[in-house]
Amino acid sequence: MGARGAPSRRRQAGRRPRYLPTGSFPFLLLLLLLCIQLGGGQKKKENLLTEKVEQLMEWSSRRSIFRMNGDKFRKFIKTPPRNYSMIVMFTALQPQRQCSVCRQANEEYQILANSWRYSSAFCNKLFFSMVDYDEGTDVFQQLNMNSAPTFMHFPPKGRPKRADTFDLQRIGFAAEQLAKWIADRTDVHIRVFRPPNYSGTIALALLVSLVGGLLYLRRNNLEFIYNKTGWAMVSLCIVFAMTSGQMWNHIRGPPYAHKNPHNGQVTLLSPWGWFF
């Protein structure tokens, strides 16, 4: 055993220790510094993203739609990192702009944002904001935007695509249509809750009271109820009302203005609305 083990020990004793080449130390040092720099940059991005999300959540706790100027738009939307979707309404609400459509679209947008804020599915993956022309003229110029209102979706990564601009001219700006568009772009489904509107109930109650009062005053002479001419006139009025353009607008909900795709001219009357 001992004789056999001796050559092995002699061979081990004759071996020289191996050392790394001298030129590899700068490479290892550079690799170490690079790893430290990448780790620090990643941590800095995470801290910046956390700061952004916390600021947006704080604004959302105060109001469902927060207004943005040029600096805020570039910081929270254009500049990465970003892991959230942002819906932006570009509008002109100042009285001197005289944009009645902007005010009506803002009401629907407010209903949608409130529905998202008070829903059980509310999270930090979707936010609603607004850029007014008089507060963010540079943003309008940067996006080459010359009309309002306009709704755009800014995804968490990359630039907005063509489908990220809501087709307001064709669909209209109802909160339900906006919610459907947002679901297609972000997979976030928002159930729209509208505030109760008692105007219809009050009008119906007044009509019933008026008819009841008329019948009470004519209680001794109700022969007019059996007047065929009177019922024919009432039927014609109902038919004309149901086939009118106003009823078509109520059912279809078309936009207030139509933009001709060929020459870009904006008209207030839909060219095909008269045929439906």
pLDDT tens-digit readout, 64-98: 999 999 999 999 998 888 899 999 999 999 988 88
Q: Is the pTM of the predicted complex or chain greater than 0.85? A: no
Domain residue ranges in the chain:
45-184, 195-241
Sign of CA dihedral 24, 29, 30, 34: positive
The C-alpha atoms of residue 60 and residue 63 are separated, in whole angstroms, by 5
Which CATH architecture describes the domain 45-184?
3-Layer(aba) Sandwich (3.40)
From 9-23, 35-49, 110-124, 136-150, the region with the lowest mean pLDDT: 9-23
Please say whether the beta carbons of 153 and 86 come within 8 A. yes
The model's confidence at residue 115, banded by pLDDT at 50, 70 and 90, is: very high
Please say whether the beta carbons of 165 and 181 come within 8 A. no
Strand 126-132 and strand 85-91: pairing?
parallel
pLDDT tens-digit readout, 140-176: 999 988 888 999 999 998 889 999 999 888 888 899 9
pLDDT tens-digit readout, 186-195: 999 999 998 8
pLDDT of residue 73: 92
The model's confidence at residue 269, banded by pLDDT at 50, 70 and 90, is: low
The C-alpha atoms of residue 181 and residue 160 are separated, in whole angstroms, by 14
